[in-house]
Amino acid sequence: MSTGDRYYKQDLAFIHDVGFSDYALKSAPGILAILAQNNIHKGLIVDLGCGSGLSAQEFTKAGYDVLGIDISEAMIAIARSRVPSAEFRLDSLFQAEIPPCNAVTSIGECLNYQFDAKSDRQNLTNLFHRIYHALTPGGVFIFDIAEPGQVTQGITKGFTEGDDWLVLVEKEENPELSILTRRIITFRKVEEYYRRDDELHHQRLYTATEITNQLHQIGFQVETMASYGQYSLPSAHTAFVSRKS
Ligand SMILES: C[S@@+](CC[C@H](N)C(=O)[O-])C[C@H]1O[C@@H](n2cnc3c(N)ncnc32)[C@H](O)[C@@H]1O
């Protein structure tokens, strides 16, 4: 299996798209307002970890060109059918070439995932450098991260359900290593039976302070927020607006 078909496989990609669209859709008005405040009214937005293209759909509706990059084949397939006018590439955001652009976004804690060999601290720093060089002067990098404190004690177990699907998630945080592990079981109705699939996701959790310091060292001006406009992020998450002057 390549990395592209190991994570957010067909059923989890479908469930994320239909059951967890709020994060992207409700944050989009706030992100569009930030772009307008920075006098970015047109041009290219590169969306890293674009998922099923929900942000891309809102950005293209507002008149921007969009290049979406994601490591999941199933997510990219949904995104291509949702937003035919945008471009989507199957690649790791830690390796993909980022073309010259007016804005880079990464919505929904995409930078925390440890899906490929490149997703360590050093490669996150390298990514920040690459984004800085790709942005035009005055460009912005808007993203959010998950911080330590996702699970405060022991192991949590929960589920979410829709009409023809169910997802069970067990979470455990290793505070020494700052790693969150999510064991995910999906059930999706296919004709008269429910099909089961399993995924294991690891995320490296970063503090807002360490990310802010890194961005400053590269030359970004940084503002942190607990919401995108009216959309409040879940607890222990921070959003960043990083400007290249
Ligand atoms: C929680 S989803 C968010 C998707 C989308 N941004 C949204 O808000 O709906 C995280 C996404 O990040 C992608 N992702 C994780 N690690 C990645 C990597 N190294 N390169 C590209 N995409 C990655 C996943 O495949 C998934 O689509």
For the chain, list the domains and their CATH numbers. 3-148+205-243 (3.40.50.150), 155-203 (2.20.25.110)
Of 82, 66, 99, the C-alpha closest to 14 is 82
Ligand 1 centre distance from Cα of residue 94 (Å) = 12
Q: What confidence score (pLDDT) does residue 120 get?
A: 76
Q: Confidence class of residue 5 from pLDDT cuts 50, 70 and 90? A: confident
CA angle 86, 92, 98 (to 5 degrees): 55
Ligand 1 centre distance from Cα of residue 2 (Å) = 16
Has residue 119 got a pLDDT over 80?
no
Enclosing H/E stretch for 36: helix 22-37
The per-residue pLDDT for range 43-85, each reduced to its tens digit, is 999 999 999 999 999 999 999 999 999 999 999 999 999 999 9
Ligand 1 atom nearest the C-alpha of 94 is: 19
Task: Write down the residue that tokens 């995924």 correspond to.
Answer: 199
Q: What is the DSSP letter of 233?
A: P
Q: Which residue of 7, 58, 71 sits with most ligand 1 atoms within 8 Å of its CB, as the best mutation to test the pocket? A: 71
Residues 6+ positions from 218 with CB-CB distance below 8 Å: 128, 129, 132
Q: Looking at the DSSP assignment, which residues form a beta bridge with residue 203?
A: 113, 180
